[in-house]
Amino acid sequence: MKNEIALKYGCNPNQKPSRIFMEDGSKIPVTVLNGKPGYINFLDALNGWQLVSELKNATGLPAATSFKHVSPAGAAVGLPLTDVERKIYWVEEGELTPLANAYARARGADRMSSYGDFICLSDVCDVATAKLIKIEVSDGVIAPGFEPDALEILKSKKNGSYNVIQIDSSYRPEPIEHKQLFGITFEQGRNELKIDKDLLKNVVTVNKEIPDSAKLDLVIALITLKYTQSNSVCYAKGGQAIGIGAGQQSRIHCTRLAGNKADNWFLRQSPKVLGLQFLNDIRRADRDNAIDLYIGDEYLDVLAEGRWQSIFKVKPEVFTREERRAWLDQMTDVSLGSDAFFPFGDNIERAHKSGVKYIAEPGGSIRDDHVIETCNKYDMAMCFTGIRLFHH
């Protein structure tokens, strides 16, 4: 019975020895099927596995997340993709299963942050999902199982060194968890809070209407935040996170960061971006970087320096600030979750700029009245969950 896995090193190459193990001597619930995952890989894999497991339990849909440095860059459930979504996620070809849809959404929301991610899947990895994973730059994947052909596809990635981890989906950890810092052991009860639509009943704004689609998005946002380094804020729409702000000391910085990512997600769907003509041999990552430049003010520098010729077949017109704002004004019915209360109405003002209509946050600030008043100004519906979701 194997109760430990030796690792190459810890967070950094100088941190040796390194391993993961079961203190009680029981069998470790993960099996490495290929590659040699590292310390950070397992941190991402085990946090992400919890996230997708909870999404699957809460929604009944296959779920996927794209993890980087112990926070999700994207998370989604397996709803069908629109033609535009297939195009902006670079998955226009081939049949997509529900799990493949979930992964395409999780990876596609913030493709720059997802570069070199660790992928976590709620269901047995099928061939359609493995084919999507194969063409992306990624460190590895964890799932409760792999179809034989899917496993062979993944094992061929990165010259045979791609990390593939299988987890025992029946594994349940002890209710008390421990971690060490500076030689001192911390102990706490695991965060076993069940997040579902029942948490959304206390609507405190004048507008009390939260449709089922928005409730799904709010549940996705809150579960995503449960495994995101705090402070954190998550924008969600259409069954996926579209902007995640993680690890900021100020909540308004979280709201701005996540809002900018949500804006980029929507700007990628604009006719000007969809009409870009890239050179045939441009790599996927370079294409993503080029789009990020194009939808920002930096594109003026690209034009001035003549660098567009190494990216595009045809010189694209400038996407002006006014045009970008006009397009963003069409983004509506976005949901927003926060892992702790909003202390000021400025967070709501920023959220409004990204089309937020529905909000879930714990409540409990001495300025709750101001936050509620700001929501009412924009006819938003906001519920207080009464539950904080800090994660460290």
Annotated catalytic, 69?
yes
Q: Which two tokens stand for residue 275?
A: 């009409």
Tell me 148's DSSP state.
Answer: H
Instruction: State the DSSP H helix or E strand holding residue 337, giving kind and residue range, or none if neither.
Output: strand 334-338
CB 244 within 8 A of CB 232: yes
Marked catalytic residue, from 57, 69, 253, 289:
69
Marked catalytic residue, from 14, 159, 280, 392:
392
In this structure, which amino acid lies at residue 227?
Y
Coil, strand or helix: which one is 256? helix
Marked catalytic residue, from 34, 163, 231, 264:
231
Annotated catalytic, 68?
yes
The C-alpha angle 157, 110, 255, rounded to 5 degrees, equals 150
What are the E-state strand segments in 168-264?
A: 176-181, 184-189, 232-237, 240-246
CB 373 within 8 A of CB 345: yes
Distance in angstroms (rounded) separating the CA atoms of residues 269 and 288? 13
C-beta neighbour count of 327 within 10 angstroms: 19
Burial of 185 from C-beta contacts in 10 A (0-12 / 13-18 / 19+): exposed
Annotated catalytic, 231?
yes
- b/e sequence 63-95, b meaning 16+ C-beta within 10 Å: bbbbbbebbbbbbbbbbebeeebbebbbbeeee
Q: Which two tokens stand for residue 152?
A: 């062979």
Marked catalytic residue, from 34, 56, 68, 226:
68
Q: Which two tokens stand for residue 176?
A: 């008390």
Instruction: State the DSSP H helix or E strand holding residue 378, giving kind and residue range, or none if neither.
Output: none
Annotated catalytic, 178?
no
Residues in the chain, how many?
392
Phi-psi region of 183 (alpha: psi -120 to 50; beta: other; left: phi over 0): left
CB 54 within 8 A of CB 192: no
User: Which residues participate in catalysis according to the annotation?
Assistant: 68-69, 231, 392
